Amino acid sequence: MIRHVVLADEAATRRVAAQLAQVCVSGIIYLVGGLGAGKTTFTRAWLQAKGHVGAVKSPTYTLVEPYQIAGQSVFHFDLYRLNDPFELELMGIRDYFEDHQALFLIEWPQKGEPVIPDADLRLTLQTAADDVTRHLTIEALSPVGIAALTQLDMILAEPL
């Protein structure tokens, strides 16, 4: 199940991230795209929509930034600087994924494969020629992802 959404500006990006945060409360979310595509902006908006107050920093050097939001564990991974997926084993990555009620937002997931679990949703962001517009492709890859995307379809049917 795949959907394509045009994000005209950063405000549209924040709205769609907030809508996804409503319908996908737990699971594994891959955020794919080149540098500057908007992955961290999307993640920041998602976390704020869930109720996080304060800064959302990119864990580019620490690899993971944990959050507790309304009693739920949320983990923001940024694997950009990862040299080898084996490094994730050394940091105990499997322990994180034992919490099946948690939400995992993973930027640059391709750098962690095959160590990281499969995604429920894969979000691919691409920058348009105007460098403002983003093209978002949402792929549901599991029953959790399909349920979330089905709910999102109902929300997206309303004008942004």
How far is the C-alpha of 48 from the C-alpha of 56, rounded, in Å? Answer: 8
Establish if 58 belongs to a structural domain: no
pLDDT band at 159 (very low <50, low <70, confident <90, very high): low
**pLDDT at 25 (0 to 100):** 87
Establish if 21 belongs to a structural domain: yes
Establish if 99 belongs to a structural domain: yes
Average pLDDT over residues 56-66: 78
Establish if 83 belongs to a structural domain: yes
Domain that holds residue 111: 2-35+63-141
Total domains present in the chain: 1
Q: Please report, rounded to a whole number, the percentage of residues in the chain having pLDDT higher than 70.
A: 97
Determine if the peptide bond prior to 109 is cis (ω within 30°): no
pLDDT band at 111 (very low <50, low <70, confident <90, very high): very high
Establish if 52 belongs to a structural domain: no
Q: Is 29 in contact with 124 (CB distance < 8 Å)?
A: no
Is 80 exceeded by the pLDDT of residue 62? no
Average pLDDT over residues 15-20: 93
pTM of the model: 0.91
Establish if 106 belongs to a structural domain: yes
Tell which residue, 135, 157, 150, has the closest CA to residue 12. Answer: 135
Establish if 46 belongs to a structural domain: no
The three-point CA angle 67-68-74 to 5° equals: 55
Angle between helices 143-156 and 10-23 (to 10 degrees): 130
Is 80 exceeded by the pLDDT of residue 136? yes
* Residue-averaged pLDDT of the chain: 90
Average pLDDT over residues 91-103: 89
Establish if 51 belongs to a structural domain: no
CATH code for position 95 = 3.40.50.300
**pLDDT at 160 (0 to 100):** 46
